[in-house]
Structure 1
Amino acid sequence: MILYFSGTGNSEYVAKRIGKETNDTVINLFEKIRNNDISEMYSESAWVVVVPTYAWRIPRLIEKWLEQTALNGNKNIYFVMTCGENIGNAGKYLEKLCLKKKMSYHGCMGIIMPENYIALFSTPNEETALQIIERAESVIDQAAAHIKRGSLFPQTNISFKDKIISGIVNDFFYPTTVHAKKFYATDDCISCGKCSNVCPLHNIRMNNGRPIWGNHCTHCMACICRCPTEAIEYGKHSQGLPRYFCKKEV
């Protein structure tokens, strides 16, 4: 069974591609996360978790959900992480998680997809994004092939830098950077409420037709990148940058 979480569509696309190649069930975790649904799940096939990379590890909201949710049946589990550049030493922390859950860690594979983290980086235009996805297709196929065979994902060399960015940097990044203080809506807002509807943590409420952000942001970038009028900004950094949402279909 393939479980995915996706703010701007990259991990959704990869999950559905793997599901197509492996002929396996694909489940979006959005509603489970949003509703704090930690009821047990069952799969006869290996578990495959497809998520974006947040500060060189899996998102903490997904890590928390996995810690609290019983995954019964097959005890083999794979992790596929979409990223803008690399996943650092994420595998170290996933191995520890699997040990706690008494599951067999079958590896973690990073797949470079278009950058969506408009809060800090530049996002690609549509043409460039499609080129990046095209280059990712062969890696997605490799991941699917390993899953079909039941073989472990190949291990990669972990540098000292990888250990630092997934460790100290990640620990520092979350409390200092992952918040919603810089989000705001411009006068282009049409009060459609989509930003509120796509927030996995119920962190956005509409007040007199305008979005108000709370204190539980996970920086998935769904609100800013999926706003139909591009009315949401993140401080000054996002101004003038293209909004990214994966438009390619499986």
Structure 2
Amino acid sequence: MILYFTGTGNSRKCAGWLGAKLEEEWVDIVPTMKKGEYGAFQSETPWVFVCPTYGWQAPRVFVDFLRRSRFEGSRQAYFVLTCGGEIGNAGESLRTLCQEKGWEYKGAVGVVMPDNYLVLFSPPSQEEGDKMLERAKSQTDKLAAMIRKGEGLPEKRSTFFDRLKSGAINQGMYRFFIKDKAFRTHGCVSCGLCQRLCPMGNIRMVEGKPHWQGNCIHCMACIAHCPAEAIEYGRRTRGKNRWHC
């Protein structure tokens, strides 16, 4: 079974590719998570977990969901992390999670997708993004073949800088940088799509306008999917094109 978490759709796309190749069900955890619930899952085939990379780690909310959910059947766990460049030392914490859950850790691999973290980076053009998706699709086909054979995923050896990024820098980003006070709207059409798509249930519509409630994880779902491009994050996102998969 494939379980995935997504904000702007990159990880959903990746999970779908893997699901088609492996002939496996791919399940979005967000509806369950938004209810404040945890899951109970059963699979005789290996678990494949697909998620974005936040600060060179798997998202904390995703890891917490896996830690608190119940899994029966297979004890093998694969992790596929979509990213804008690389995943640092994310595999180490996922290996620890597997030890806690009694799973056999089969590796964590990054799949480079169009970078959509508008707060710091500019997404690619549609043409560049489509080329990146082609390369990512080819990579996931290879990963699916490895998973089908029960092989471990090919991980690169972590460096000091990988450990720094996934450790101290990740912690600093969550503590000081990942906030929602800078979100603003202009030209909002009051469609409410941002509220419906926010995986944290962090957006509340007040008099037809979105208000962020202080529980943001910077998934960029709201800003990337806004049909009117009415959402900005301070000055950091002005003039940048939006990307969602």
TM tier, smaller: over 0.9
The aligned counterpart of 2:130 is: 130
The 5 A counterparts of 1:170-181 are 170-181=170-181
Corresponding residue for residue 218 of structure 2: 219
> May I ask how many residue pairs the two structures share in their alignment?
245
Determine the structure 1 residue equivalent to 2:75.
Answer: 75
Q: Percent identity?
A: 42
CA deviations 1:34-68 (Å, max 9, x no partner) are 11221321111110000000000000100111111
Counterpart position of 2:203 = 204
Distance, in Å, in 2 between the alignment partners of 1:60 and 1:236 is 27
Output the CA distance in 2 between the equivalents of 1:62 and 1:36. Answer: 13
Q: How does 1:43-82 map to 2 (within 5 A)?
A: 43-82=43-82
SS at 1:105's partner residue?
Answer: strand
Aligned to 1:190: 189
Q: Deviations over 1:170-189 (max 9, x none)?
A: 11110111111111111x10
Equivalent residue, structure 1, for 2:165: 165
1:91 is matched with 91
Partner Cα separation in structure 2 for residue 11 and residue 199 of structure 1: 15
Task: Identify the residue that residue 107 of structure 2 maps to in structure 1.
Answer: 107
SS for the counterpart of 1:242 is: coil
TM-score, normalization: structure 2? 0.98
Task: From the superposition, tell whether residues 39 and 134 of structure 1 become closer, same or farther in structure 2 (CA, over 3 Å).
Answer: closer
Partner of 1:219, secondary structure, is coil
**Corresponding residue for residue 154 of structure 2:** 154
Gapped runs of 5+ residues in structure 1? none
Structure 2: how far apart are the matches of 1:167 and 1:6? 22
Are residues 1:22 and 2:22 paired? yes
> In 1, Cα distance between the equivalents of 2:93 and 2:130?
31
Q: CA RMSD in A?
A: 0.8
Instruction: Find the aligned partners of 1:81 and 1:111 in 2 and give their Cα distance.
Output: 6
1:147: how far off?
A: 0.9
For the residues of structure 2 that align with 1:182 and 1:95, how far apart are their CA atoms? 35
- Partner letter of residue 96 of structure 2? K
Give secondary structure in 2 for the equivalent of 1:239: coil
Distance of 1:69 and 1:245 partners within structure 2: 28
**SS of corresponding position for 2:214:** coil
Mapped partners of 1:135, 1:243: distance in 2: 20
| Residue 155 (structure 1) shift | 2.5
1:223 partner letter: C
Describe the SS at the equivalent of 1:110. Answer: strand
Q: Report Cα offsets for 1:108-137 as digits up to 9, x if no partner.
A: 011000000001111112111111111222
CA distance in 2, matches of 1:152, 1:135: 21
TM-score scaled by length of structure 1: 0.96
**1 CA distance for matches of 2:210 and 2:95?**
39
